[in-house]
Structure formats: structure tokens, C-alpha cells
């Protein structure tokens, strides 16, 4: 489990790219991107099938991201996550967040024994300026001792 320090280090690693941003407003990959952007995160969408999403310029892949991009949120299907992690490692990312439900054994193996600060099994929305449901969920995790320390 990630520590609170790891999460805090990730959250200040802006700008942060998000791989798996959906063009479909009904999908979580769109909703999460929109919420993070509206809360003020300096976030860059990555999607090979779009040029703009929610008013933001979209990059087709990790290689195309601006050099100053420091963090990466992976919100892909499990079957694609390990390849994204390999690309991120090749690009030199030191901060990676694998959104809960996107992690795979292969992806986590790619990160094992590296100096990359990575978080997995957690929802980014619960830690970046949480409100309503995510704030309540965080309080529940704290109450039951499952919140990172």
C-alpha cells in the first residue's frame, strides 16, 4: 500500500498526464479527467483517437507529451496498463498513479525494484481536493484504518 507521503509527492508532481481519458462523457475516464481539471489540477489528456477533450489539447501517446510533464495517471484497461508503464519508464517518469481497477500483475511487476514513486489500488479523486462522495469515502477509510499513513 502506498504511504501518504508517496501520494503527496505524486500530487505535487504537476503537470500530470492522464492516459485513458475517454471522449465519451458517460465514461469514468472522461468524468475523472473533467473533475481533476475543474478542481485545478494541471492535467494533460492522452488519447490516440482525439485532438481535444473538454477544451484541452490531447496528446496521442506518452512520447508526445511535453518534456516538463512529471506525473502520470494510468486509467486504462488492465490489459493495456503494463505497456503504458513500460512507455512511462522509457520516458523517465518518476511518479505514476495506476487508478484502481487498472492495475495488473504485469504492470506492478514492471514497477517492482524501480525508483519510481507509484501508487496503485487507490482512486485519485479521493486524494486530490476530494468532495462529497470521495471525501466521505476517505473518512470511512480513516475510520476503519485503511487510509494510507
What is the CATH number that goes with domain 4-143? Answer: 3.40.50.720
Tell me how far apart the alpha carbons of residues 139 and 58 are, in angstroms, rounded to a whole number.
34
| The model's pTM | 0.93
CB atoms within 10 A of CB 109: 11
For the chain, the structural domain boundaries read 4-143
Q: What is residue 130's predicted lDDT score, i.e. its pLDDT?
A: 84
> Cα separations (Å) of 65 from 15, 134, 136?
10, 29, 34
pLDDT digits (tens, 9 = 90+) for 98-136: 999 999 999 999 999 999 999 999 999 999 988 877 777
- What CA dihedral angle connects 13, 16, 18 and 19, to 10 degrees? -80
**What are the backbone angles phi and psi of residue 135, rounded to the nearest 5°?**
-65, -45
Per the document, the length of the chain is 149
Quote the pLDDT of residue 106: 97
d(CA 31, CA 28): 5
- Angstrom distance (rounded) from CA 79 to CA 117: 22
Sole residue written with cell 513500460 = 86
Amino acid at each position: 500500500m502506498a504511504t501518504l507521503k508517496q501520494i503527496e509527492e505524486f500530487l505535487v508532481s504537476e503537470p500530470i498526464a492522464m492516459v485513458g481519458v475517454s471522449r465519451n462523457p458517460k465514461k469514468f475516464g472522461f468524468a475523472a479527467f473533467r473533475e481533476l481539471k475543474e478542481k485545478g489540477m494541471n492535467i494533460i489528456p492522452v488519447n490516440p483517437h482525439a485532438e481535444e477533450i473538454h477544451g484541452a489539447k490531447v496528446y496521442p501517446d506518452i512520447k508526445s507529451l511535453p518534456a516538463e510533464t512529471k506525473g502520470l495517471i494510468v486509467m486504462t484497461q488492465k490489459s493495456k496498463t503494463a505497456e503504458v508503464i513500460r512507455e512511462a519508464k522509457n520516458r523517465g517518469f518518476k511518479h505514476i498513479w495506476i487508478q484502481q481497477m487498472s492495475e495488473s500483475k504485469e504492470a506492478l511487476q514492471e514497477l517492482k525494484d524501480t525508483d519510481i514513486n507509484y501508487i496503485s489500488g487507490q482512486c485519485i479523486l479521493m486524494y486530490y481536493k476530494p468532495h462529497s462522495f470521495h471525501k466521505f469515502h476517505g473518512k470511512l477509510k480513516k475510520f476503519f484504518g485503511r487510509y494510507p499513513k
